[in-house]
Amino acid sequence: MSARITADVAAARAVLEAGGLVAIPTETVYGLAGDAFRPETVARIFAAKARPHFDPLIVHLADAQQLPRVARDIPDLAWRLAREFWPGPLTMVLPKQEGVPDLVTSGLDTVAVRVPDHPLTTQLLRASGLALAAPSANPFGYLSPTLASHVAEQLGDTIDLILDGGPCRVGVESTIVRVDASGVTLLRPGGISVEQLESVCGSVQTLAPGRHQQPIAPGLLPSHYAPRKPLQLVEDWPSLAERSQLGCLTCEQPAPTGFLACETLPADEHWVGAAAHFFQALHRLDQAPVAGLVAKLFPEQGLGLALNDRLRRAAAPKEP
């Protein structure tokens, strides 16, 4: 663990301006950021995460006015969504500007872009004027980091600096939508709920899963966001005898008894509190001396959709 952990925005800016990598706090999860317009820096991001090059990165901007730096032919609807949800956990996929390196977009002619909502990262983006390419700051396929210490444990050896902005407020990654002439298509559920999107743009289309050779959003790969221990999704909790080996993630009150470890998430109508603690709880369970994890799916309302998406991928068999 050699990365410097600090809340010093000027230090983070200096590293980024020299082409280095900084883990940045956002309202969703920590990102592993580098200057989006320096291909050699972007290549280091992929290497640090052991991320396959077919999985493109999100570009982070200080504000919506900067959108034309990376995207073109921006539909009115995209501007409307930007006004409504930026800064915030919405990523829009739009036609890309020519100057955006192909490495950032994995050769696609679209770019994913968002304006994050965290005071330190906003300061950093404003002061540096940089567009920051940043995937989540975790090894590819593993649980996303929502604390600076998660980043330090997972990637501390491979990056230069961790900008510590405390726990991530939203706790799940941004919602990704494609915005084009046919309207808004959901590519990944996340911190902005479908209900919130629909209140602005009427209807939201969804993709039939598993249809794509090169995934439109490889966060859609079956196995992703996964703990090291096997996670099983259940409808009923296992027998008391089995529980003594297992860790349990639940929002039931009172929590089921007899598990070796148990994490209880708060239950509210839109599952906002559960999202805020979701990855922290999974990290703790994964580190407990359990043989495996069990969880039940959430009701598919509000952020429950995003949490279930992450749970299903975390439970999916890992590819060889």
CB of 197 to Mg ion, least distance (A): 21
Q: What are phi and psi of 157, to 5 degrees?
A: -80, -20
Q: In what order do the strands lie in the sheet with 4-6?
A: 4-6, 161-163, 22-24, 31-35, 132-133, 58-60, 110-114, 90-95, 175-180, 183-188, 204-206
Dist. CA 211–CA 293, nearest whole Å: 30
CB of 144 to ligand TXA, least distance (A): 7
By C-beta, is 136 or 196 nearer to Mg ion? 136
Q: Which residues of the shown chain bind Mg ion in the complex (CB under 5 A)?
A: 136
Q: What are phi and psi of 212, to 5 degrees?
A: -110, 135
Q: Which residues contact 231 (CB under 8 A, 6 or more apart)?
A: 292, 293, 294, 295, 311, 314, 315
Q: Which residues of the shown chain bind ligand TXA in the complex (CB under 6 A)?
A: 26, 28-29, 31, 55-58, 89, 91, 93, 105, 108, 110-112, 116, 134-136, 173-174, 176, 187, 216-219
Task: Return the residue nearest Mg ion (CB atom).
Answer: 136
Q: Where are the alpha helices (DSSP H) in 88-236?
A: 102-105, 119-128, 148-155, 194-201
What is the distance, to the nearest Å, from the Cα of residue 19 to the centroid of all Cα atoms in its chain? 23
The listed partner (Mg ion, ligand TXA, none) that binds 282, CB under 5 to 8 Å by sort, is none
By C-beta, is 136 or 174 nearer to Mg ion? 136
CB of 210 to Mg ion, least distance (A): 19
CB of 188 to Mg ion, least distance (A): 10
By C-beta, is 219 or 302 nearer to ligand TXA? 219
By C-beta, is 23 or 246 nearer to ligand TXA? 23
By C-beta, is 97 or 106 nearer to Mg ion? 106
CB of 283 to Mg ion, least distance (A): 14
